[in-house]
Structure 1
């Protein structure tokens, strides 16, 4: 699908690509990986023609359509659904031509509209928007009413809806919550054409792509499989390369020793000359250099406090005179708790983080917290609020006013900043470097509680692993808000869910939550009008597959009638559970409802099989 040959590109005083070549298969789903700053986004710009090649070639099939998400969609008065529908340029053009087309051309236009399934376009667009977190009411709202983060989702929805032949996505999960990221993983797996995704999300790279394209040292190398496969294959390749290098160097040293010993002797001159030629033909080898990632420094509190660190009883919190964001909270946080805080954007996760950090106070209820508790709070907006003229050294000077200059530079060195980087302006630091600086800064005073709100947005995979190692070594409490499912799984011991104006413990693990989110998305896509349906009575537990497996006795006709009745009941039972999953409070019973749905689905499949057997038997007798 995409062919890159001998690509060379220099810019900003450095070489990004040095003879890079790769051929991507048609309809491949490719994860583009590499360290921060190696040129992944630059490659996208070269493919899109936004930058000029130094030399080499980037080619796509004729008439292949490229699609990307460059920036948030503008704040226009156009309704949300119409904005996404307009992304299908061919459909929009055909509909516009209908207004002025000559009668003899109408047939061709209608035929093409049927070919591209134009009638189903609104429902397909609504399905994508529902998966990205938009409600049915949002579909008619003008774009100007959405914030920048939501307009980024609109741009992503438009790109997915247009279904270009080659879709380019640069860190698409950075502006999604965990629910949106889970939906996107499933969507990318089913994308009908080629896609290339820059991502540091290990779960997405393992579940949604079938190739990994690795960018390092100006070269591109393609691996088959997900990220775990890539790591295994690359580690093995490095091991074999290093073993080959050692053998070649040993052979070179052995022959050079012979030349050094006998090169001056006339009787051995011929052999010495022969070995010198052999040495010249040996391939040049370089030692494999492992890319090093500086560790994160998260010092543990010196003195643990008496439990609990925090207790909230019937707490309510909000902003000014606006309606409360969170109500009826009854929570306890102990000294060694590792909490993963789940919930869609807008459910109150960041509000809760502000409350625990001390930036907000309760309106009602009681909150008991240790007066000696130190809190380290990282949130993504800190990166945006940094002064672009600041430097790491000036920032650490304010944080360590009594320390010597040598001590400050030593501290920055521990954070992973080289001598040159400590006086680099924030504007010139990468997003990953800024995140690294702030993460280390918030933990510098050995807090009893770390609150991390989307800490991985700008970190590459190796830096995320370093953060994971530091968090597992840290002995205080942690509240983690992250769309990185892998990090949440490996850090959190307990899950809390922000939903329906409150926060409650979640009964299940991350797999249960992922299944619940995807089930809800499927239901919303299948029947969007049912998403807000009210159910007064809780759905009964569906019959088990074993109970349905008993075939009715009697004549074939009675058996067929009984099977049809059983099938109708099984279908109704599954619909009941689906409606329960669509309720706003479904998250509180995720594990239970997930098990009920599995049982109901199994019962339905059993009833369908019995019904088909009974119908075939009855048809055979009557014929």
Structure 2
């Protein structure tokens, strides 16, 4: 049975039809990547599934008692700590805990505790802390108030809350946009192990290839489902388009041949019957249109002038803010053919280094030398806040290129797909992806030798990301890249630099090696938190690992035994209270026969519940004993 069923769905926004009788079915546990061009309606569809938007036609049905989680649009705020914010995001748990502290009804109290056991409430703080840690918050940060973090970090808290709910259906809209590459890699692993279903809108190819098991393509108002990740989707779609075009070509040739016969012999009496038959056959031929692909996205960077090496050198440079160094003793060199990606968690200094290279920050100490002819192009996502919303891209580019002709101004915008209509639109009316294109056009207007890209793909769709990769592969200058997009890093960079512990050093290896390094670092951190485990070696370590595996295998049995034992305790406490009530002479003096009957009925029910709980406990203990005796 499907978890989510979308049937003949129609959605309209501001008079524009985004979905037109579209249908989709999502089974329990399935991970679906929702893709489509910017503006196709992906986020609107998620909003409709969540119940924020009423359909204009058709239906959206979630199976009975299924839970749904999504990242809220408004970021959390206030003085509450991160860990408490995530914990209170689980409304049922918070409500049950409050009720457990305040209810005086023993029957209800037993039900509450049984439900708390069912949702694994006792382990909630540890699970919430693990999720926050994976998203980049250490133990100290988890205790700080939400208000002390910037908007991007608060979005991580909102994401952590959605993951913590562990719902039957998880809706994620560009979940990696505010993550660094380390948190993105962690999120991929979490989603792989997530037992529920998920619909994920993302332009991150690595996420779509490594996590989802099918791709839902939203195109021209319809939804089509293709098995596999994004790479498989592209392969199947390309093959289908080729087959459809071949069929259309064959049909067109057949139609032309038949029409030729009709035209030649329609007027001849001897051929009139055959011509009439051909006309009827021509009418019965199916209509197969050739697949006309959207105009492919193209980016191109101006070619920089030659520059003798070295392009830029640093000698023991330190840089930071307000007298505090973020990066120290940097002795590095950049040349025109360098393609470098910066790795490291957010807050370690990657963007600070980019600002240093761009001249936005001056060295606190040390020396930087570069050719006087060096031109640098700097793209940072926060620059979109500096755009004037009431002006057009042409206004911005003309101001940035005061000596350029109108043709040259439009030509620079066209390099990044901003055609005449979009170039003349108000910036406030542009999509996030179109603003990113404008920022790329502005950053490269002087044909830079060095291109600094700080998260350039956050608002670019998959086609635009591929266009950026192609353009960078043809670019003749140097590139320093900061990105959470593993596919972009692997496609562009040939050198990796790690920003860690206040310095920058080469990382030997590729992105797979970096993922392995992150896993090993996490393992070492866990070992340091438990020194006794670190000191064990050889047979002791193997034995400990075997015991750990045994404990993991037996965990469901132990959990079942604890739950049954806890329930027996709760039922016993309720029984004692009811029996004490029955033994109270005042009950009989009042002559309240209805109350006496209710108590006796509940005692009979308790006997059955206790018997069932005891059977559960005995069965679990027997299996544990048998397993431990093997």
Residue 346 (structure 1) aligns with? 347
* 2:542 counterpart (567, 590, 609): 567
Q: Aligned partners of 1:331 and 1:36: how far apart in 2?
A: 39
Equivalent of residue 87 in structure 1, options 71, 86, 89: 89
Structure-2 residue corresponding to 1:486: 487
Q: Are 1:301 and 2:309 an aligned pair?
A: no
Separation of aligned partners in 2, 1:414 and 1:116: 54
Aligned equivalents of 1:566, 1:406: Cα separation in 2: 71
| Structure 2 counterpart of 1:464 | 465
Match of 1:291 in 2: 294
Shift of 1:292: 2.2
- Name the SS for the 2:304 alignment partner: coil
**1:530 corresponds to 2:529:** yes
Alignment partners' CA distance in 1, 2:111 and 2:189: 36
After TM superposition, the structure 1 = structure 2 runs for residues 213-612 of structure 1, keeping only pairs within 5 Å, are 213-304=216-307, 306-321=308-323, 323-521=324-522, 530=529, 564-565=539-540, 567=542
Q: Distance in 1 between the 2:460 and 2:92 partners? A: 38
Q: Distance in 2 between matches of 1:566 and 1:61?
A: 47
Q: Which residue of 1 aligns with 2:30?
A: 28
Cα displacement (A) at 1:197: 0.6
Name the CA distance, whole Å, in 1 between partners of 2:75 and 2:430. 26
Q: Distance in 1 between matches of 2:163 and 2:29?
A: 15
Per the TM alignment, residue 530 of structure 1 is displaced from its structure 2 partner at its CA by 2.1
Given that residues 72 and 151 in structure 1 are in contact (C-alpha distance below 8 angstroms), is that contact kept between their aligned partners in structure 2?
no
Residue 510 of structure 1 and its aligned partner are, at CA, apart by: 1.2
Return the offset for 1:412: 2.7
Which residue of 1 is the match for residue 188 of structure 2? Answer: 185
| Change in CA separation of 1:262 and 1:393 when aligned onto 2, cut-off 3 Å | same
Deviations 1:330-375 (A, max 9, x none): 2111221111111111000111111111111111122222222111
* Cα distance in 2 for residues equivalent to 1:480 and 1:11: 37
Q: Following TM superposition, by how much is the alpha carbon of 1:278 offset from its aligned partner in structure 2, in angstroms? A: 2.1
Instruction: Give the conservation status (yes or no) of the 8 Å contact 1:377–1:451.
Output: yes
Contact 2:412 2:445 in 1 (8 A): no
Of residues 402-411 and 93-102 in structure 1, the stretch that sits farther from structure 2 once superposed is 402-411
C-alpha separation in 2, matches of 1:124 and 1:196: 22
**Aligned position for 1:2:** 4
Greater radius of gyration (CA): 2
Q: 2: CA distance between counterparts of 1:136 and 1:319?
A: 25
CA distance in 2, matches of 1:443, 1:142: 40
User: Which residue, 126, 145, 151 being the options, matches 2:154?
Assistant: 151
Encode CA deviations 1:82-130: one digit per residue, 9 max, x unaligned. Answer: 1111122221121111122212322221111111111111111111010
The TM-score, its normalising length taken from structure 2, stands at: 0.82
Give ranges in structure 1 of 5+ residues lacking alignment: 549-563, 572-618
User: For 1:71-82, what aligned pairs fall within 5 Å after superposition?
Assistant: 71-82=73-84
Counterpart secondary structure, 1:175: coil
For the residue of structure 2 that corresponds to 1:108, the secondary structure is helix
Aligned-residue CA RMSD in angstroms?
2.5
Distance apart, 1:185 and its partner CA? 0.7
Length, aligned pairs only: 546
Corresponding residue for residue 592 of structure 2: none
Q: Corresponding residue for 2:169? A: 166
CA distance in 2, matches of 1:246, 1:22: 31
Corresponding residue for residue 108 of structure 1: 111
Counterpart CA distance in 1 for 2:66 and 2:522 is 31
User: Could you give the per-residue CA deviations for residues 280-310 of structure 1, whole angstroms, max 9, x where no partner exists?
Assistant: 2222222211222332221221222x22222
Shift of residue 134, structure 1, vs aligned partner: 0.4
Query: In structure 1, what is the Cα distance between the partners aligned to 2:414 and 2:541?
Result: 70
Alignment CA distance shift 1:411-1:367 (3 Å): closer
After TM superposition, give the deviation of residue 494 of structure 1 in Å: 1.1
Aligned to 1:318, the other structure's residue is in SS state strand
Q: Distance in 2 between matches of 1:175 and 1:227?
A: 22
- Distance in 1 separating the partners of 2:14 and 2:541: 70
Q: CA deviation at 1:522?
A: 6.0
| Contact 1:183-1:518 at 8 Å conserved across structures | no
Alpha-carbon distance between aligned partners in 2 of 1:15 and 1:29, rounded to the nearest angstrom: 26
Deviation string 1:197-243 (CA, Å, 9 cap, x unpaired) is 11111111100110111111111100000111101111111111111
Residues 522, 191 of structure 1: CA spacing in aligned structure 2 closer, same or farther, 3 A cutoff?
farther
TM-score (norm. length: structure 1): 0.83
Query: Aligned partners of 1:297, 1:534: CA distance in 2, in Å?
Result: 57
Shift of 1:568: 5.9
**Aligned residues of 2:76 and 2:158 also touching (Cα < 8 A):** no
- Distance in 2, matches of 1:72 and 1:498, equals 31
Q: Take 1:123 and 1:569, find their aligned partners in 2: how far apart are those partners? A: 22
Q: Quick one: structure 1 residues 187 and 418, their matched pair in 2 at CA, closer, same or farther if it must change by over 3 Å?
A: same
2 CA distance for matches of 1:105 and 1:522? Answer: 43
CA contact 1:354–1:360 (8 Å) conserved in 2: yes
The answer to whether the 8 A contact 2:481-2:489 is kept is yes
Measure the CA separation in 1 of the matches of 2:340 and 2:468: 16
Which SS does the other structure have where 2:86 is aligned?
helix
Deviation at 1:570, TM superposition (A): 9.0
Distance 1:274 1:56 in 2: 43
